[in-house]
Structure 1
Amino acid sequence: MIPWIVDWPVWQIIRVTGIVSFVSLSLGIALGIMYSYPVWPAKSKTKLFKLHRLFNNAGIVLMLLHAAFPVISTYMPFSWKEVLLPFAAQHDAVLNGIGTLAGYGLIVVLLSTDLRNAIGKKLWHLIHLLSYPIFILVAVHGFFLGSDTVMAGIRWTYIGSFILIGLLTIGRLMFLSSPGAAVK
């Protein structure tokens, strides 16, 4: 392996990219839910949509880095097979497999958005709704596998994200059930 790469703080990079990816994706999902609220004027919706995409795209890039760096880790090395094939990891196969599945799910949601016109709005929306179970998979992977979850701040980041997404979803469902609500 190239010596200067081995000298990088790989373990710290894996941890930071995982946590920041989770926070970015959580904010992206929250902004996406808020965007779907029928109360925003057009200018605000445009800003919300741009932030939604920015946070989700940043989260996906960080997720890809988080997945790739274990291959060059000397602390706890993974093979490409362990990273790319769900449940193939020798260390915590189930939790790592959940992370791999979540990563593939994020890529499917991202690609479906890019192909929205080709696949139709209905199918795109169904695929986009996978963001909820994917969010749960990502949270389970990070919360139970992440070595930093022992820190209260990190633990509360996961819990707070769940609460935020839950409350925003309840709010969105309330809009859907109100008389005259338009489904978007």
Structure 2
Amino acid sequence: MDFWGVLLVIVGIVVGLWILWKLIGGVANLALSGHDRRFRESPIGAAIIRIGEQSGTNDGSPAAKARAAAMFEDMLRHSPFTFDADGISKAEAVEGYEIAVRASRFPISVEAAYAVTGAADYEELLDWSQDKAAVAMASAFVALYPKWPTAHRTGSLEVAKLERGRWAMMMVLLEGRAQREGLLAA
């Protein structure tokens, strides 16, 4: 074989592998999207989505900031997680949240749950990020809000693993809120 024949074989192999990779990815994505759809339609998924819809989004207005602070206060009050904010009381945290909260395209309830998990104890967060059941909960969160991970990029793999723990913790907070609103049985 001459140079062009060898080059043609190499290009053919590369294109074949690329097509195979795309087919495998497409099948896997189809399977995951079916799982995601089933979770979104499940009672807990539908309830969490409903909580998000009811809370609205923060457009940056004073009324939206007040709604966001009220949601943060409710979730912080009912949070089963350790509050570890270095000498800041929960009331001060709520006041600070109302001042610092920014406009977001995500529901106020989701942003509030994210902020509450940010004040959790590091060791507790680490435990949640390594627990297999919590990893499944984090996947369920991504099924509900698939654009969340791309909007909250991390700088390292270690931080990404901790974020996965936060997503699982957020599911607990959002499920608790759905129960308090009567959308889920306790």
- What is the TM-score when the length of structure 1 is the normalising length? 0.28
Larger-Rg structure: 2
Q: TM-score, normalised by structure 2?
A: 0.28
